[in-house]
Each structure stands twice: as structure tokens, then as C-alpha cells.
Amino acid sequence: MDAGSPGSDSKLCVSYPVGGRDGGWGWYFMKDVVSGLTSRVQLATDSRKRYLGAVEGAFGAGVDVATLQKIYGAMSEEVARRCGPARRIRCEMKPVLGNPDPAHVSASYVERQNLAMRRFARPTDAFSKKLENRAHAAALCFTFYNFCRVHSTLRVTPAMEAGIAGHVWSVEELAALLPAPVFETARPLRGRISNWPTAGRRARPRARPAYCVYSFT
């Protein structure tokens, strides 16, 4: 699961963990969200009880929470053949904690944010083979989204709208956050190589050039 928590005003995504969908990961996600906030907020989520327990455990009574459940009708054969969603009949909103404002209870913010990221919009072929690489990719994408990408509605970056950045970051500034690169030399190739001068023969080619290994945090 790739979780995100964009704000409705600044569009800033304050937390983006990569993990499971169980209660433990939900609690970790909410604790991470709390660590990035300085004032009382309003949350909207679906009706999964695991998420509600995590919200209450992390925020306590200092949050306004409402659930938004979308009710869909029966899926037609044509829609099933196109792998599309069924027709939505209605949405049910229920206040859970605090005093949430019904006018601001919406799941469209995170859905639109997923579309902006595109990497996390399904179906997609932008996947990672390792969980660690997935987490690195998520950190890179969300940091670029928060600090480098100008939002079409805000005309500034989400970080500038939130007051934590004074200008649009360049890619060079984003890359400057990386630690010093670690250089490694790959093992030499073995076997036949079609484009080698001695094609068709057993040869010991030269070692690959050194490459950089970066770690995103």
C-alpha cells in the first residue's frame, strides 16, 4: 500500500509511507501524519474500522474525523469487460470524532493527488521489484511533488503554499539532499556478448564502469 495524506488547502502531502493495509501499518501512518502537523485538522477516510482505530490512537481527541462510503450499483457486462468501475449510486457521510464540517468531507483530494503522481494510478506498469526500491521511489516522487512541481491550482508548489519553502526548488536542490554517493564496481561480465569484437568466441570482457548507488530517506 502506498499511502498519502494531501491537504485540501495547501495540497501538501505530509506523509507517504509504503507498507501493508493492516492495523499496525495504519497506526504507523497516522503517527507519521501527526508528527508533521502543528494544528488541529479534519480527516476523511473510508469506513474501515482499522483506520478509525489508528486515527483515534494517534490523534486522541484533537481531530475531526468523518467517514465517506461510496455505494456502487451492479456492474454491467460491458463495464466488466472494460475493467472499469461500476456506476456510483450515492455517498454516505458519517461524523465519527469531533465536529467535522460536511462541506469539506471528500476523498477527491487524495484521488486527484494520485492522478497527479500517475505512478500510483492503476492500472500502471510503473512498479518496483523490491519493497525498499518502492519506498525510495515514493519518497522521491512525493518530495518532487511537494517542493519542485508547481500546482496548477495554486500557481506555486504545495510547500510554498504551506509556508515551509520560499521558492520553487530545482532538481539540483532536490539532488543536494542526497548523501555522498557510494561508488561500487560491478563484477565483470562472463559469457558471450554479441556486440563484442570477438563475437562467437568465449572471451573475458572488461569490467563494467563504476556506477553510483544512492539512498533516499
Q: What is the pLDDT along the chain (217 residues), one digit of tens a residue?
A: 455 666 678 888 888 888 887 888 888 888 998 988 888 888 888 777 777 888 888 888 889 988 888 888 777 777 667 766 777 788 888 898 889 988 888 877 877 777 777 655 555 566 677 888 888 888 888 899 899 999 888 899 999 999 999 999 999 999 888 877 655 554 554 554 444 444 444 544 444 443 333 333 3
Whether the model clears a pTM of 0.85, i.e. scores above it, the answer is no
Give Cα separations from 64 to 16, 95, 99, 171 (angstroms).
21, 8, 5, 37
Instruction: Examine residue 123 and say whether the peptide bond preceding it is cis (omega within 30 degrees of 0).
Output: yes
